[in-house]
Structure 1
């Protein structure tokens, strides 16, 4: 313990000494020498020397393509070069009186200069000043706001997150206009210095949850963060689980709804996917459109979705188990028809199912990776041609093709892509168990999955909550979607929470002219 403390003290002392050495000097040439050595062989970094008032040497440093050059010429260089006070004023005075830029930040070390320049903010250094100024003139090419491709809806907002963090935070601010919406920023990645924002609503999100999310992010030490998937994989409670424990979304309305439930949203610069923590199994099976249409229709679609999730996981394995070991469970006419279709097939049902499942997954992956214009055509035509040719060649039977096709259609009803990928992954061991042990193997596989789900947690929240453990008050938005005038409480996530989300007696009463009860 003494050795660890002394080592930690030495590291901290070394960092302090290094920081002292990085302080800017009042000699402009010395500061430029340090920055030029750091940006050696960086052709896109521009060092623009100029004279303030024709007398005092100064330098404007920026990265071409990340800064607004027109604004720099109009609001910075032109007024400073025409300045009449010359050496009589200071950098602070010029920023207040001459430079017309709304956002200005002081920099005192070379690390601060590098951080601001890399962000796109030009830095001004003046001879005789031991500090500089970073100007908020960052500007780079960005994608326009479009409809999310992975979470499309028929009824609801059509806006989606983009790769620019500032745009994503503004989309959340546009929906939640309260100052209680807090956003904490930090940088992760030794080389990328990726900016990450933690969004939550003060008074609704539990403080313990916010602290835990912050601690997990601060523990990450990596060369670079290029997408939110890096963060998701390094923050999970059980990284070897096939089930996602953090929900990702492209939709600002989904993120805003999660914030209002007391969850935390993590936005990563450069990624159009926001992360929502904690999450549960039932949150992954809910679509944002469930809350934009009538509750009766939403509840019916939700039940249909649950049914098809079960079919997506179990239909091929049950077919293989029944065909291999439990033929007596099938009506006589149906089993005779299936036996006739399998008469020329040289493979057992297990191999036949694996061939078709692997082929279907390959076609699905090919459709995703190919260009959009030909991807859909290849996947559809490939499935039709290969399926029909396999039947005519006697490699697979027609019922097996139907089972695999129904399984694929069922998997498309899962609203979250990463959860659907988990179900697709688990389908293969279930088929193996069914082909070796029959329905007993299917039941054993289900027990293993259920046991794992019962032990799984997301930031301390049980994965099967609010059904296990049972919380009756929160069941109004699990198996069914209760009408909005009944959803008067938030889900209870962690610790103390802001329970009520709306006033009581919101049910419309036609007897009183449409007024609430």
Structure 2
């Protein structure tokens, strides 16, 4: 009320009903024989699409036709040479009829097909194919002329090797399938295609080796993929979270890799892989904990050296997870476990530190993780320098300022170095994350709390499953025949049978008698 008068609220003018967004249901499902009607419908579908190309032309100078494609998804040279040039300039063959004969006889392309479904035409154009509408014909000719720009095949940065193949997947799914075909040249390598994403329509390929993999595993993966309902898929991580067995567990129950040799080796063991378009990372299932600690180079080097390096990685996993908590528990509750000289050295180093040991450890561990993340996200030229120099400078400054002790800096440094020995990034994240609850448990109840935390982690890991396969197999449950590739890596001629846990139907992969034998007459003497 203003000056005793009631203010009358003005009502906004009624707006006209907004036009609903266009959908494919607004166009007829079948292609019309009227070219003008088809042109009108196709323009409605690709309204406000600046990269849409619509090219009218004539066949043999008489029949009207219409070419549609998406700029950037097609190879313009192929469009000009194999689609537009033959019907416009070359002499027609005798007895030429409809568009079906036109597709087979006049277009020099390997992948040519016809369809009368308007929605299939739209989907094909969005996948990089060119569509040809012909006046008076209800079938549309689709020509595969994909030509988008893609990254060259390069060595994966996340899984480098000294000895082994140097090529990895790129973002093109057909390049990935071809790299698998190059390694497994058999028609038993099956590849099932499907699209996921209501808007993105991302191409996904389910691949396995028929006769080795168990059908129930393939069917389970197929069912989980078909159950996914999402608007778009930008990376294989989307699919991984939608189909994994334990989404709340820190441990990854699906193995991801960008190396085709690793995928091929897992397929030969009876596993299933999923390739996703627009990402170089493939998914392999079922997975177990030991896959995350082993690398493909273990099978390219001699077996005894691969075993030694594998044990170094196991020690790295143990140090990453348990060393900070062990330091907190001993220094806080169990000083009697240390030698007197070492205890006096640690006590003198911590004399001026104002924080309890647990706060001191958490402060340094969080700082180290922040430096690691900064080194990953910064430009490559400065990222490594920032992470290394930052750790040295901050550690030295913290010791001189009396905020942390020198022994703790050594413990945190050893923990950080040990974490780099874990080859799988996802498993490394889980191990690095779990050391913080163990630090709290050790700071609360000493070695008793640390032991309870370790038992809880072991119970959790032993209870996990990946597509029906125990995550900690073949250790829990124990399968003695499969331990030859867990704690040690036996020679190839001793790994005669495939792992039994994935349920392989063809367990024998190497016949007996493959052990190398020295010559009976050394030096060629008779």
TM-score, normalised via structure 1 length: 0.94
1:66 aligns with 2:73: yes
- Structure 1 position 70, deviation (Å): 0.8
Distance 1:321 1:455 in 2: 28
- 1:376 paired with 2:384, answer yes
1:312 match = 320
SS in 2 for 1:58: strand
Aligned to 1:273: 281
Residues 482 and 499, structure 2, Cα contact 8 Å, conserved in 1: yes
- 1:238-279 Cα offsets, whole Å, 9 max, x none, are 100000000001111101100100001110000111110001
Could you tell me how far apart the structure 2 residues matched to 1:307 and 1:415 are? Answer: 13
The reply to whether residue 366 of structure 1 matches residue 393 of structure 2 is no
Whether the aligned pair in 2 keeps the contact of 1:262 and 1:493 (CA below 8 Å) is no
1:416-436 superposed Cα distances (whole Å, 9 cap, x missing partner): 000000011111111111111
Q: Please identify the structure whose Cα radius of gyration is greater.
A: 2
TM-superposed deviation, 1:446: 0.7
Q: CA deviation at 1:102?
A: 1.1
Report SS of the residue matched to 1:172. helix
| RMSD, aligned CA | 1.6
Q: CA deviation at 1:107?
A: 2.4
C-alpha contact 2:269 2:504 (8 A) present in aligned 1: no
* Distance in 2 (alpha carbons) for counterparts of 1:442 and 1:513: 60
Runs of at least 5 residues in structure 1 that lack an aligned partner in the other structure? 1-16
Contact 1:209/1:459 (8 A) holds in 2: yes
User: Which position in structure 1 is the counterpart of 2:36?
Assistant: 29
The equivalent residue for 2:55 is 48
Alpha-carbon spacing, 1:269–1:129, altered in 2? closer, same or farther (3 Å): same
Which secondary structure state, in structure 2, belongs to the residue aligned with residue 480 of structure 1?
A: coil
Say whether residues 1:39 and 2:35 are aligned partners.
no
**What is residue 495 of structure 2 aligned with on the other side?**
487
Gaps of 5+ in 2: 1-23
Q: 1:449 Cα deviation (Å)?
A: 0.5
Residue 132 of structure 1 is aligned with which of 130, 137, 140?
Answer: 140
2:469 to 461, 466, 473: 461
Superposition TM-score, scaled by structure 2 size? 0.93
What whole-Å deviation, never above 9, does each CA across 1:112-133 have from its counterpart, x for those lacking one?
A: 1111111111111111111101
Matches of 2:483 and 2:293, distance apart in 1: 14
Higher helix share: 1
Distance 1:300 1:134 in 2: 57
- Counterpart residue number, 1:218: 226
1-structure distance, mates of 2:199, 2:116: 21
* Residue deviations 1:68-126 (CA, integer Å, cap 9, x gap): 11111111111111355599621111122211111112222221111111111111111
Higher mean C-alpha displacement, 231-240 vs 486-495: 486-495
| Structural mapping, 1:135-154, within 5 Å | 135-154=143-162
- Evaluate the alpha carbon distance shift between residue 343 and residue 491 of structure 1 in structure 2; reply closer, same or farther with a 3 A threshold: same
Partner of 1:326: 334
1:107-161: per-residue Cα shift (whole Å, max 9, x none)?
Answer: 2222111111111111111111111011011011111111110100111111111
Structure 2 equivalent of residue 418 of structure 1: 426
- Residues 18, 43 of structure 1: CA spacing in aligned structure 2 closer, same or farther, 3 A cutoff? closer
Asked whether the 8 Å contact 2:288–2:471 carries over to 1, the reply is: yes
Specify the alignment match of 2:393 in structure 1: 385
Cα shift readout 1:338-393 (whole Å, capped 9, x = no counterpart): 00000010000000000000000000000000000000000000000000000000
Alignment length (residue pairs) = 498
SS of match in other structure, 1:62: strand
Q: Against the structure 1 CA distance between its residues 477 and 88, is the aligned structure 2 distance closer, same or farther, given a 3 Å change threshold?
A: closer
Could you tell me which residue of structure 2 aligns to residue 12 of structure 1? none
CA distance in 2 between partners of 1:485 and 1:24 (Å): 61
Shift in Å at residue 307 of structure 1? 1.2
Q: Distance in 1 between matches of 2:25 and 2:392?
A: 66
Q: Is 1:166 the equivalent of 2:181?
A: no
Cα distance between partner residues in 1 of 2:355 and 2:387: 25
Aligned equivalents of 1:512 and 1:30: distance in 2? 84
Q: Tell me by how many angstroms 1:495 deviates.
A: 4.0
What do residues 221-240 of structure 1 show as CA deviations (whole Å, max 9, x unaligned)?
00000100101111110100
* Match of residue 512 from structure 2: 504
Distance 1:222 1:513, change over 3 A: farther
Residue 211 of structure 2 corresponds to which residue in structure 1? 203
Query: Aligned pair 1:264/2:237, yes or no?
Result: no
1:324 shift after superposition: 0.6
Match of 1:439 among 404, 426, 447: 447
Question: How does 1:276-315 map onto structure 2 within 5 Å?
Answer: 276-315=284-323
